[in-house]
Every structure is written in C-alpha cells, then in structure tokens.
Amino acid sequence: MTVENFEGIFAIKTFSEIRDLVIDTRKAAMRLIEKAKAENRNMSKSEISEYDVLNKQLDVLHIELEKSEKIEAERKAEAGVFLRSQRTDSTAPKSEFRYSDGRPIEVYDRNRPVQKIDGAFGSFGEFAKAIIGGTKNDDQRRSLETGSGSGSYSVPLNIQKEIVDMLRAELVLTQAGARILNLEPGTTRIIKVTADNAPTWHQENADITPGDATFIGVDVSPKTIVSLSKISRELLMDSVNVEAAITTSMINSIKTAIEQAAFTGSGATGYQPTGLDSWAGVLKYWEAANGASLTDFAELTAVDYQLRKRNVIPNGMITSPAGFAALNLLITGSEKNPLVKPGNLATLPIFSTPAISEIETRGTSTTSTTGIWVANWADLLICIRQDVQVEILKELYRGSDSIGFLTTMRCDILPIRPASFAKLGGILPGVATLQTS
C-alpha cells in the first residue's frame, strides 16, 4: 500500500482501529530490522525502501491518530470524562517558532527546560521494567494496553518529555546554546538564511532597491535513531538500580548519535542528518597546510574575527577531547603558566565531545588531527518528533535468557544560518602519554 492511497482509509477508522494500524505498521518495520540483525547483515536496498515507506505511513498514521484522539477526548469531555490532563494555552511556553496554523512549537534550550506533566509512569526505566515484568498499578496497565500482544509500545507522553529533557541537559550542543524543537508528526519547513540583507539609506521619492538577503525553505526530514540494549531477565528483575541503568544507557546512546550526526552526519545517503562539516556556507579554516600544534590563541582569534565580520557573535566552542587537551596545554614559555585567553575569547565556554573526529588528516600529512568549532550555537536546531517507540525483543536473545529493548526516535539537525558556524581544523593533538602498567 502506498503512502498516497494509505491516507484515504481513515474516514471509516476509529481511534482504536488507527492505533492498531500504528502497531501493525511499526511491527512490520521492526521485522525488517530484526531479520537483518538475525542474519548478521545490513538491510538490502529493497528492505530499506520498504522500511522508508513504512516510516512515511507511520507519519500519516500518527497525524490521524492524534486527530481521532482529540475527537474522542472532546466527546468524553462533553460527558464530564477527560482522557488526560492537558496544559492550557495560558501556561504554554512562549515560542519563536510556530506551525502554519499559528500554534507555537515547543522549544527547549539550556535555559528552557521541558515542562513536566503527570503520567502513569514516573520514568522511562519504570516504564521499561513494567513492560517485561508487568505491574499491579491499574493506571500503568491501561497505559500499556496500546502495545499489548505485539511487543511494540508507544512511550507515554510524560516519559517522552522526560527523555527530551534529559537529552536537553546532557547534549553538549544544547549546553553550548543549540535549541531543541519538539515537533508533531507531519511536514515542517524551516527558513534558512544563506545571506544577510544589505540595507541602504533612502532618498525621498527615489526607487527602493531590494537588498540581497537570501532565504531558503528547508524541510525537516527526520532520520531514525535506533538504540538497542540487551539485559538478562534475571538482572532485570533482581537489580535495585535497573530503572536508572536502562534510562542512562538509552540516553547516552541517543546523545552520542545526535552529536556525531551534528558534526559529521553523512546525510540522506547514510540515513543520517547532514552534519556541519557538509553544510554549504559553514566557514572552514586550517591551522596549517599539513596540520600543526596550537601555540597560542592567534588562529582562534582570527576565526572569531571572521564570524564577527559576518554579524555573528559566537557563544561557545566545541572540540574533541584531544582539542580540549591541546587548549589546556597552552602555556607561557619558561614560567609554564596557563596562557590567558584574549578578551574576545575569554567569555566563550569550551565544551568537548568524542563525536568530533581526532583522526582527520590534512594536506600530504598522514598524522591525525582534530578541530575546534566556534559558533553561535543558538542557530543550530535539533528537531525531534513527538513519537518515541519501544520494541521488546524477546525471541532474538531467548538463547541467553535475555531481553532486548529497541528504542527508536526520529530526529533531524539543521543550521538555520550556516555562516554562524566556523571550524578551525588541522590541529595536532597535544595529549601527554600515560603509563597504564
């Protein structure tokens, strides 16, 4: 069934029927992944094509599911029964982004946490444990009914918000200033600024010449992050910290995937978002033709200058652990005191992530180098779909009496102003060698 004719079946479908379609479609998609994993191979082109079609069908289904849920909620509200508590517009966070119908998009950053809501489960770990071991709580049992018998579960809304807020707090990108957009299913278009306007003074009665600002519409195209965790059944049921361990493992794996994609993502051909390294308009400079060690802050000051010349005020630097060490090893000559950052860099915090490569080569040299990104990170958008799914894999690890948790999240990463980002590459790591024995 194609996406086009898939949309025409909803006129006769109830909320529960559409929900069952979501489960069946997701189950079909996950079977493709499980089959490839069981045969220890990558998915074939035909399987990838089928998987993409199923994901598009899921987007359509979720839109219809939300519409149907609202209709059912309104019907029950008229009878005095509410499906769940909902935040009113008066308490909704203010947003600089809006859907085409005027509704605000939820935006989070280092200073804007996710507003928590109540739910049957208090954490993702509690939700995951209840899926396997069951629960005596009536509200929790009702919440799990969506995935009953299929092994596929929609993560409750309050837990989805918890996951997004934990990512907000853990991601180096958001610590530096990047923003998270929590998007509904469906097509979302973001305006990207590729050139600023050139204003002029106007003479009375003279014609006005348009400036040269360039705006390009970019569709948010979420890619699927898959996090697979395996845990023995015995450990799952007996450990006192299993809920926290499952949650931490899931958050760390998703965090790693997002940060890697933000810098070096290969784009559509690799089923990843396009990383900053590949975006047109991003500024790139090099320490030397074949790479070199940092000796002072001169090159970073020059990068800062290039950004400010383009009306960009940087708010942070992100580098690899090797780049972070190289910056900390900048010292004065004989005194060997830490080198003081100049005024333009003094207020810029420095963050590090293993997602930035330490094995880049430059010019004719084969020596590994790394890079430092200087940017206004508020111009980087991490677009997350409001649809986190958990698939329970019991059969795949039955031989070891273990259970797999397959968590999927859909995400895209967009720089809305590429000129806000600059990279100084070709930096030789300066980490001291440590003895391990």
Residue 248 included in any domain: yes
Task: Give the type of residue at 52.
Answer: D
393 close to 407: Cβ distance less than 8 angstroms = no
Taking the C-alpha atoms of residue 68 and residue 65, their distance in angstroms, rounded to an integer, is: 5
CB atoms near residue 385 (< 10 Å): 23
Residue 171 included in any domain: yes
Q: State the pLDDT confidence band at 3, using cuts at 50, 70 and 90.
A: very low
Same domain, 112 and 152: yes
Residue 138 included in any domain: yes
Residue 270 included in any domain: yes
Same domain, 299 and 427: yes
Question: For residue 131, what are the domain limits?
Answer: 90-195+211-437
Same domain, 331 and 411: yes
Report the number of distinct structural domains present in the chain.
Answer: 2
Taking the C-alpha atoms of residue 358 and residue 361, their distance in angstroms, rounded to an integer, is: 9
Residue 65 included in any domain: yes
Residue 200 included in any domain: no
Q: State the pLDDT confidence band at 273, using cuts at 50, 70 and 90.
A: very high
Same domain, 136 and 33: no
Same domain, 189 and 50: no
Taking the C-alpha atoms of residue 82 and residue 86, their distance in angstroms, rounded to an integer, is: 9
353 close to 316: Cβ distance less than 8 angstroms = no
Instruction: Using the 3D structure, point to which of 43, 66, 83 is the last residue of a domain.
Output: 83
Q: State the pLDDT confidence band at 2, using cuts at 50, 70 and 90.
A: very low
Same domain, 71 and 115: no
Does an H or E element contain 374, and which?
strand 370-375
Same domain, 107 and 74: no
Instruction: Using the 3D structure, point to which of 25, 58, 83 is the last residue of a domain.
Output: 83
Same domain, 68 and 114: no
Same domain, 148 and 78: no
Can you tell me the mean pLDDT for 8-14? 52
Same domain, 62 and 148: no
Can you tell me the mean pLDDT for 24-40? 80
Taking the C-alpha atoms of residue 326 and residue 291, their distance in angstroms, rounded to an integer, is: 13
CATH number for 98: 3.90.1690
Residue 337 in tokens: 């005191």
181 phi/psi in degrees, rounded to 5: -105, 120
Same domain, 126 and 70: no
Taking the C-alpha atoms of residue 32 and residue 304, their distance in angstroms, rounded to an integer, is: 48
Residue 240 included in any domain: yes
Q: What is the pLDDT of residues 106-160, one digit of tens each?
A: 899 999 998 888 888 888 878 877 877 778 888 888 777 655 445 667 788 888 8
Q: What is the pLDDT of residues 133-145, one digit of tens each?
A: 778 888 888 777 6
Same domain, 57 and 98: no
Instruction: Using the 3D structure, point to which of 34, 53, 83 is the last residue of a domain.
Output: 83
Residue 206 included in any domain: no
CB atoms near residue 424 (< 10 Å): 24
Q: What is the pLDDT of residues 94-104, one digit of tens each?
A: 567 877 777 88
Alpha-carbon torsion (253, 258, 264, 270), positive or negative: positive
